[in-house]
Structure 1
Amino acid sequence: MFLKSLDLKNYRNYSSCSLEFSPGINVLLGRNAQGKTNLLEAIYVLATARSHRTANDRELIYFGEDQADIKGSVSRHTGTLPLELQLGKHGKKARVNHLEQAKLSQYIGQLNVILFAPEDLALVKGNPTGRRRFIDMEFGQIAPRYLHNLTQYRDVLKQRNRYLKLLSTHQTTDKVFLDVLSEQLAAFGGSIIAQRLEFLQELEKYAQELHLAITQGAEKLTLTYDSKLKDVLGHSEQELQQLMYQQLKGQLQKEIFQGTTLFGPHRDDIKFLINGKNVQTFGSQGQQRTTALSVKLAEIDVMKEQTGEYPLLLLDDVLSELDGQRQTHLLKTIQNKVQTFLTAPAMNDVAKNLIKAPRIFTIENGHASLHADKTDLKQETITFYPHKDSLKISR
């Protein structure tokens, strides 16, 4: 799978933009605040229908406009697939092959992406919220049922927490409705935990191999699921649903007292172990970064295994955060494997030596120059005219 072209209208600082990409490595060079990260974000939004930088869609719309449009042409093994996403004050509209989708869950998964930004290097040492978001976003792209269960779980959780608050403040004494909500929460929650366990097992298989290669066989990486639900391993999905329901009933008085749901997948976490020791607690910064790199790169093969096609890889200024050894391993892993979009202020020596035939866009003050590859003498120049809201391509 690769993204052939991208068309933006009124997105962030792009009033109008049309670009064609290489199926290999595409490099966006430029100083800060020139718009290179906005292009990566647009690709991410086209794939997932949400931004990784903001929850407010209004921020994605060009100043003074009411709507932003993102269009992309995706090449898959089944053929070329047009995708369209409109962001407006009344919500989102998504189209696949020019047909509007009734639900965003029917749209997500048509284009799969993996985003690797500097903050992802804090995946290991960061807070549990970030790790839960990581697994939800990545697994949600390739498993529509997981995304459905997660959406339903969050809706029921909100209802249950509101009702627990009413009970805790003695605004109601009826616990029958609460039991109904507990059954629903356990049904969706048990399914989520079962699917997360399956996903982590696949992720560990590839991350372990990558980690061994980076550390030259010195470190074995394992991933474990840290759940507030006791004894989750070795149970079927139905058994996990029942276990969660029983624990909800057992903790009922405590939850009523505190006015909130105290356990479930919304409070679970992932643990990373190197040679049996918790890298979050005992690992060096280098080990934590190597672990994050191994896990992010492992997603590429997990998505390929689950969907039959490689995803797009978005690298947002990551090379500057990695030392030479990790840069080398990253670039060797992706070369000739996945379509990659890489942003950087400039090409460093490692990238120059390892990236073969990239398509390079230099973005500065609304002007971008494009080379077909490193050896091609023909130069394409893309000039952006703000007053005309258009791009001109010349050779």
Structure 2
Amino acid sequence: MHVSSLSLRDFRNYAAADIEPGLGSVVLVGSNGQGKTNIVEAINFLATLGSHRTSIDSALIRQGSDAAIVRVNLAHDGRTILLEAQLNRNGANKAQVNHSAAKLRDFPRYISTVIFAPEDLMLIRGEPAGRRKFMDDLIIQRTPRLAGVVADYDRVLKQRNTLLKTARVKDIDAGNLSTLDIWDERLIALGTEITGERRRLLTDLAGPLAQAYEAIAGSDHAVSIELKTSIEAEHNPQAYAEAFKNLLETGRVQEIERGITLVGPHRDDVEFGLNTLPAKGYASHGETWSYALSLKLAAARLLRSESVLGDPILILDDVFAELDSARRQRLAEAVADFEQTFITAAVAEDVPAQLMKHVFHVKKGTIEFGTNNA
């Protein structure tokens, strides 16, 4: 799969921008703050239904505008499809597929991306929420219908927490909260499915992760990836659901006292291991970069092996400047066979020569096709 054309209207710093990227590597060159990342952010938004830089959709709308439009033509195996998203400052966002009204959450059925940005170092070093989002974004790209499951879980969790807080304020006895039982059933059903998909993902990701780390770091280290759940149970849906139910029942008084749900997929984490130690806290700066890059490359290769859409669109946002020459070259070799890779760079010389296939220069919200050394 590849982007054959991209059109932006009132997105970030672009009043209007149109680009026909081409196959293979697409390099966006420009000084910081000119709008390079905004271009790849727009593409990634359609696949993940969010930004890798902000959780607020309105931040993607150009200042002074009421709406932003992202329009992408995709091509794969002789077929084309047009996706259009309208992000509204007021009111719900809108979507179209081939000019017909659609739901935005259906877009992952048509487009798949894997993005690596400097912020992804926090996958290794940061808080569990980022690692949970990484898993959930990936399980949705593997199985797009799970977008609804994840959204429903978040909605049920919010409703349940509201009820717990109300019980705390009104001093309602835990035994008189029959309404909570209904939310518990939904939370357990949705949470069991999400956890099962996360386990399957990490199992399938382990092999590609080890291969990617060796390819990028240039050495064979023992890497591992393990789900750390807040619910201890055998790895089957029935056992997990029963354990989930028991913990909710036995912990109800404490949950009312605190006004939050204390167990479930929203409390889980992932442990990335490197040579038998947790990468978080033990990996060096270079090892952390290699690990995070390997994680994204492994995700891209996993999606490639499963998807009827072909290769995911690979995005490397401001990556090469942080790598030494050896890692730059190894990364270039690792991504060379992807159908389309978008690369942003402040300095063209940071990008290995074999990736300088299609070069665009970005300056103050304008995009111009250029030569390698322009």
Residue 52 of structure 2: aligned partner: 52
The 1-side partners of 2:186 and 2:178 are apart by 13
Q: How far is the alpha carbon of 1:143 from its aligned partner?
A: 1.4
Residue 297 of structure 1: aligned partner: 297
Deviations 1:214-239 (A, max 9, x none): 4445311110001111135xx22233
Q: Which amino acid aligns with 2:73?
A: S
Conserved? CA contact 2:3–2:72, under 8 Å: yes
The 1-side partners of 2:29 and 2:320 are apart by 12
Residue 316 of structure 1: aligned partner: 317
The 2-side partners of 1:294 and 1:364 are apart by 31
Conserved? CA contact 2:19–2:367, under 8 Å: no
Q: How far is the alpha carbon of 1:336 from its aligned partner?
A: 2.7
Q: Which amino acid aligns with 2:140?
A: G
Q: Which amino acid aligns with 1:320?
A: A
Conserved? CA contact 1:191–1:240, under 8 Å: no
Secondary structure of the 1:320 match is: helix
**Which shifted more, 125-134 or 165-174?**
165-174
How many residues get paired? 370
Conserved? CA contact 2:233–2:239, under 8 Å: no
Judged with a 3 Å threshold, the aligned counterparts in structure 2 of structure 1 residues 194 and 273 are, in CA distance, closer, same or farther, namely: same
Q: Which amino acid aligns with 1:347?
A: A
Match status 1:187 vs 2:189:
yes
Structure-to-structure mapping, 1:204-243, within 5 angstroms: 204-232=206-234, 235-243=235-243
Deviations 1:326-356 (A, max 9, x none): 222211111132311111111225x24332x
Q: How far is the alpha carbon of 1:374 from its aligned partner?
A: 5.0
Judged with a 3 Å threshold, the aligned counterparts in structure 2 of structure 1 residues 148 and 46 are, in CA distance, closer, same or farther, namely: closer
Q: Which amino acid aligns with 2:343?
A: L
The 1-side partners of 2:182 and 2:79 are apart by 46
The 2-side partners of 1:37 and 1:213 are apart by 26
Conserved? CA contact 1:328–1:354, under 8 Å: no
Conserved? CA contact 1:46–1:71, under 8 Å: no
Match status 1:333 vs 2:325:
no
Runs of 5+ unmatched residues, structure 1: 380-395
**Which shifted more, 8-17 or 275-284?**
275-284
The 2-side partners of 1:150 and 1:275 are apart by 33
Structure with the greater relative contact order (CA < 8 A, sep ≥ 6): 1 or 2? 2
Match status 1:141 vs 2:135:
no
Q: Which amino acid aligns with 2:201?
A: F
Residue 261 of structure 2: aligned partner: 261
Judged with a 3 Å threshold, the aligned counterparts in structure 2 of structure 1 residues 229 and 334 are, in CA distance, closer, same or farther, namely: same
Match status 1:92 vs 2:90:
no
The 1-side partners of 2:290 and 2:248 are apart by 38
Q: Which amino acid aligns with 2:369?
A: L
Residue 346 of structure 1: aligned partner: 347
The 1-side partners of 2:37 and 2:238 are apart by 43
Q: TM-score, normalised by structure 2?
A: 0.93
Q: Which amino acid aligns with 2:93?
A: K
Judged with a 3 Å threshold, the aligned counterparts in structure 2 of structure 1 residues 282 and 49 are, in CA distance, closer, same or farther, namely: closer
Q: Which amino acid aligns with 2:211?
A: E
Conserved? CA contact 2:124–2:292, under 8 Å: yes
Q: Which amino acid aligns with 2:95?
A: A
- Structure 1 segments of 4+ aligned residues over 6 angstroms from their partners: none
Q: What is the RMSD computed on CA atoms of the aligned residues?
A: 2.0
Conserved? CA contact 1:227–1:268, under 8 Å: yes
Q: How far is the alpha carbon of 1:172 from its aligned partner?
A: 3.3
Structure-to-structure mapping, 1:1-395, within 5 angstroms: 1-77=1-77, 79-88=79-88, 89-101=90-102, 103-173=103-173, 174-232=176-234, 235-308=235-308, 309-348=310-349, 351-355=351-355, 358-371=357-370, 374=372
Residue 391 of structure 1: aligned partner: none
Judged with a 3 Å threshold, the aligned counterparts in structure 2 of structure 1 residues 28 and 213 are, in CA distance, closer, same or farther, namely: closer
